[in-house]
Amino acid sequence: MERIRSNTRMPVREHRQTVHEDYEVEISKWVARKARAKAIQLIKGSAEAQYKKIWEYCNEIKKTHEGSTMEVMFTTFKLPTDNPRFMRLYYCLGALNQCFKNGCRPIIGLDGCHLKSTYPGQLLTALGVDPNNGYWPIAWGLDRALAEVLPNCEHRYCVQHLYRNFKKKHPGEALKERFWNIACCTTPDHFNEAMSNLEMYDKDVTKGDQPIISLLETIREYIMDRIQQRKAAMEKYKGPIGPLPTEIVDERVKHSTHWNPIWNAAVGYQVKGPKGDQYAVDLIKRHCTCKLWIVSGIPCCHAIAAIHRNNGNPYNEVDGCYSTDLFLKIYCNVLQPISGEILWPPSTMPILDPPVTVAQPGRPRKARKRDITEGKNHGKKLRRRIVIHCRKCGNAGHMQLHAEKKGLLNLIK
């Protein structure tokens, strides 16, 4: 029990070995798996019990994390003897929210996953972007938050998700390249041209498992450890901007050698490149007519060519939102540890029962449904080709038993 308490993800093989060493008894993998599940349930508590403790958990989070928001929605009473049932929860830690306001770019990404547990559901997460182009968690739960809080905000969609639907009817590398060219356009003219190229190529394209508190604690502990690790790594890094923006600038510096800037004796540069392309760059306004500099905050290859012509350093022209100082300022806001369940503040709110589950017809699927972009061998490691040799005759391609049978047949003949 104590070994599983210290490592709830102990593999079944290691669990069987532990039982054999401690009790000199061999158990099957099925028995080991059931015993581990029973031990984890005793350690973490049942799902039903955790729903009844959700209010005390929220009080503990609010006490230890100032400015946090914990909102629980539940059904109304049906009968005086029944408890209300849990519906959904909104979870936003004050430190994460404050850091997003103070240092992250004004971009919010949404993602979600299905929870396959005793009480299935969905986990929706709001993410920001830190100065090193990494994700910064803001809140999870959400559900109808965007529709109620930001009804008129601009919405954009993940290109990868769009491409997965796109590939179902339009497979092939040629269409894939044209699709991504559309996504990378930074001006309306380039977008219209890329759309025309796609339509000319194919005219049909443009038609039409954990309990709730354990799960929340796993997410919070992971984020707490992630903040510490990323902060320690950035403190060792020497440079005005983070490593990921530096890689982007390095790549654009290589492409800038193909562009020839012409100075107008003031602050403007006319940059000519291959295939007759031409752009105007203003170093004072940090603007290029390709609009990539103003969209991303990182100089484009045309601007870098002009910066080099002006004997400047392109790394110093990157927007301040990518600076290492801002990164360390954001990651100084750490999450706080919390006490065990026995020390949580009491609550006067009604006790909640788990949500009502609806059993789906048919046998539950165990294997994950593959995406259209994944092949049959996606994610599988290459198998080692092992040539079997016979211990008796030494030849390859068969085992000793086959050689013995062959020898016995020869004797019979």
State how beta strands 121-129 and 135-140 pair: antiparallel
User: What is the spatial distance between Cα 273 and Cα 280, in angstroms, rounded to a whole number?
Assistant: 12
347 burial level (CB within 10 Å; 0-12, 13-18, 19+): middle
Q: What is the mean pLDDT of each run of 10 residues along the chain (413 residues)?
A: 72 83 84 83 75 93 93 80 86 92 86 78 88 90 62 66 69 74 79 76 57 88 92 90 93 93 90 89 92 92 93 92 92 90 91 79 69 60 59 70 52 42
CB neighbour list of residue 3: distance below 8 Å, 6 or more residues apart:
10, 18
For residue 123, the model assigns a pLDDT of 86
Report pTM.
0.68
Residue 397 three-state SS: coil
| Residue keyed to tokens 């940090």 | 286
For residue 4, the model assigns a pLDDT of 73
Residue (of 155, 103, 93) closest to 129 by Cα position: 103
For residue 346, the model assigns a pLDDT of 92
The full set of domain ranges for the chain reads: 1-44, 46-170+205-239+325-357, 241-322
User: What is the spatial distance between Cα 8 and Cα 35, in angstroms, rounded to a whole number?
Assistant: 12
Tokens for 302? 């045309």
For residue 205, the model assigns a pLDDT of 52
CB neighbour list of residue 105: distance below 8 Å, 6 or more residues apart:
128, 129, 321
For residue 36, the model assigns a pLDDT of 82
For residue 261, the model assigns a pLDDT of 93
CB atoms within 10 A of CB 226: 16
CB neighbour list of residue 212: distance below 8 Å, 6 or more residues apart:
47, 50, 51, 54, 86, 89, 119
Tokens for 184? 């990378």
Q: Per-residue b/e over 81-92, b at no fewer than 16 CB within 10 Å?
A: eebbbbebbbbb
